[in-house]
Amino acid sequence: MATTDIIERAQQILGIRLNQPLLLEQSLVHRSFLNEHPDFHLGSNERLEYLGDAVVGLIISHHLYESFPQAPEGVLTAMRAAIVRAQTLGRVARSLGIGDLLYLSHGEIEAGGRVRRRLLAQAYEAIVGAIYLDQGLEATRAFVLRTLAPEIERLEQEQPPTDAKSYLQQLTQGQLGIRPTYHLLSTSGPGHRPHFVVEVRVGDQVLGVGEGPRKQEAEQAAAREALARWPSVFGGPPPSGRAP
């Protein structure tokens, strides 16, 4: 397929036209392709992916902040991770047909690169980066919220609890089949003004430590820290905190 055909088809399936179509083409260039075509007129999509990753995170963070005004930071963090993880973005990119447009090496194609979720997720982020550079934040926000609408709607329909402890329990039971446990580490201060320090464990792993004037508040603080750490420890929660 000729370059102009790829750009035109990409703009059609994405539902957006760029003023600088070469940016869109570059977002489709995987580095493996350049190993076989070192004289290609464009570089890889890695820099655009870097930018797009940050832009997607910002747009989804803003959307969740407005959609769930009572949700604490830890819950919002886990919800965002459910949407922006590679599995989700790759699924969306595949549904859009982005895999068929990618510039890949023969080896990458034979290895299933056109349907590999992580590779597709990276291409989606690169496309977002290209749109952002070409048309700015508002047009990019419209594209991201439109293309991720099914994932966002599924998350919103689940109505996740604003209670960090309840949400953490949903995550651990849904993905790991176990409940988190809370352990009192210390109690200090006078009787009329106690101070509690609590840790939360998932299995044998300590995920968070919280403090507060009441044991319940300390447990909630520990749960919020655990939710914030969840993506880095377990690779991202399933959508809306439940098993996929």
- Whether residue 29 contacts residue 45, with contact meaning beta carbons closer than 8 Å, is answered with yes
163 is catalytic: no
**Sheet of strand 181-188, all strands in order from the earlier edge strand to the far edge:** 181-188, 195-202, 205-212
53 is catalytic: yes
Tell me phi and psi for residue 130, to 5 degrees: -65, -45
| Catalytic residue (choose from 125, 134, 151, 219) | 125
> What angle is formed at CA 27 by the lines to CA 92 and CA 48, rounded to 5 degrees?
100
CA distance 207 to 172: 11
23 to 14, 40, 70, 137: CA distances (angstroms): 14, 14, 39, 16
| Catalytic residue (choose from 25, 53, 151, 225) | 53
Token pair, residue 114, equals 């056109």
Catalytic residues: 53, 125
